[in-house]
Amino acid sequence: MDARLNYFAGPTAGKALKHFMAAGKTLKDSPLPAATQELVALRVSQINGCAFCIDMHTKDAAAAGETAVRLNLVAAWREATVFTEAERAALELAEEGTRVADAAGGVSDEVWECAAKHYDEEQLTALVILVSFMNSVNRLNIIAQQPAGDYTPGQFPLNAH
């Protein structure tokens, strides 16, 4: 299977992706814990059905020391006992922020307040931008039918998305 588009080949995509990569690097360097970032990126990608990003974030998280048990349970995090309360709050915010078309109200006050108990304003900002960023990247990959399975951890410049 080949992707419909090669985003790195054309000048317009090349310029735009340079900025996407820079945004990814900024998020990686944010005070939001790295493990939380990978769990959120994985969950958003699962909801959206982005195989490329699921492959990438599973492998990047494992390479960074994340356990297989936690990675395997991200899809069913509500019933899993392996996530911290802070991670659970981030995953719930990520879900509501990803399912905005399904849940007409967007992110509920209850979910926001729970996340705010665990993360300061800078971390919350990074979390919100990460959820938005992942939704955008997922769509880029899904529309172009980016094939999954061959990703190698650290494959992209700046270790960005």
Amino acid letter, 153: P
pLDDT: which is higher, 74 or 150: 74
pTM of full prediction above 0.85? yes
> Helix/strand/coil (H, E, C) string of 46-89?
HHHCCHHHHHHHHHHHHHCCCCHHHHHHHHHHHHCCCCCHHHHH
DSSP character at residue 42: H
4: confidence class by pLDDT, cuts 50, 70, 90: confident
Average pLDDT over residues 56-85: 96
Q: Are 157 and 19 in contact (CB under 8 A)?
A: no
Are 98 and 135 in contact by the 8 Å Cβ rule? The answer is yes
pLDDT of amino acid 118: 98
| pLDDT at residue 102 tops 90 | no
> What would the pLDDT profile of 105-153 be if each residue is shown by its tens digit?
789 999 999 999 999 999 999 999 999 999 999 999 999 999 898 999 9
Confidence check: pLDDT of 52 > 60: yes
State the number of CA atoms in the 13 A half-sphere of 60 facing the CB: 24
Read off the pLDDT of each residue in 81-102 and give the average, rounded to a whole number: 95
Predicted confidence at residue 157, as pLDDT, reads 55
List, for residues 22-39, the tens digit of each pLDDT value: 998 999 999 999 999 999
